[in-house]
Amino acid sequence: MKYAALLAILITSACRSRSVATVPVQVCTNDYALCAATNCTPAKGQITVTTMGTVTTWQAANCLCPIMRGPSVSSPGTGNMPEGNKCVDPVIVDGKTGVWSAYSVRTKIPQAPDWQHETPAPPYVCNTVSQGMAQCYSFACDPAGEAIGPDGKPTGVMLASCRCPINEAPNGQAVDVATTQIITQAATCNLPVGGPAPDVSGKAAALMLQ
């Protein structure tokens, strides 16, 4: 299955010392927040992440992500998604029903500031991320209403506000962004949502994600 296979590549590239076999992957078809093309902002405080029973704490980022529908992958027992979570389980954030952040392979993703449905978002490699990178996989996100475009009109894109860790890989280990290239679909390399680039050339990595 292409989603599970892609996720395995990304996690093992992030840190080969932890077995990807310990991280379950589920494929869902309901609403989810897709943060792959989001540039985040540093948040006050920290966020607690649980990865298959191991609890770690990270500097937090605020990430505004479009809500999508269709096939996506998430990993119960990582991020702040409970072990045993099912796609149909509701997400409650601050008393409101939210969505889980998940991943899907898309080359067009709505993103700020235009928030248009068909915004091209090709993957590329950041050689330098001065503010670090954010990792928004399997986190609970708060509904944030409909996106408004630069013209002041609603765009039809519904948004979710996600609180995500900075410089953490999906396997729960730290990413040394000073020595690691980051692959992302965000508009810029300013605190993008992304992950360690696979151990191939940037061009080959981009082709792999298309």
Output the pLDDT for position 112: 94
Q: Are 100 and 91 in contact (CB under 8 A)?
A: yes
Spatial contact of 132 and 124, defined as CB atoms under 8 Å apart: no
- pTM attached to this predicted model: 0.85
**pLDDT by position in tens, the chain (length 210):** 444 444 444 443 444 344 444 678 899 998 999 999 999 999 999 999 998 889 999 999 999 999 999 999 999 999 999 888 887 777 877 777 899 999 999 999 999 999 998 899 999 999 999 999 999 999 999 999 999 999 999 999 999 999 999 999 988 899 999 999 999 999 999 999 999 988 654 444 443 333
Q: Are 151 and 56 in contact (CB under 8 A)?
A: no
Burial class (CB in 10 A: 0-12, 13-18, 19+), 134: buried
pLDDT of residue 16: 39
Backbone angles phi, psi at 73, to 5 degrees: -120, 145
Cα distances (angstroms) measured from residue 40 to each of 62, 76, 161:
6, 23, 10
> Over the range 104-122, which residues count as b (16 or more CB within 10 Å of their CB) and which as e?
bebeebbbbeebeeebebe
Enumerate residues 6+ apart whose C-beta is below 8 A from 172: 18, 49, 51, 52, 54, 56, 78
Strand-pairing partners, residue 56, are 49
pLDDT (0 to 100) of residue 157:
97
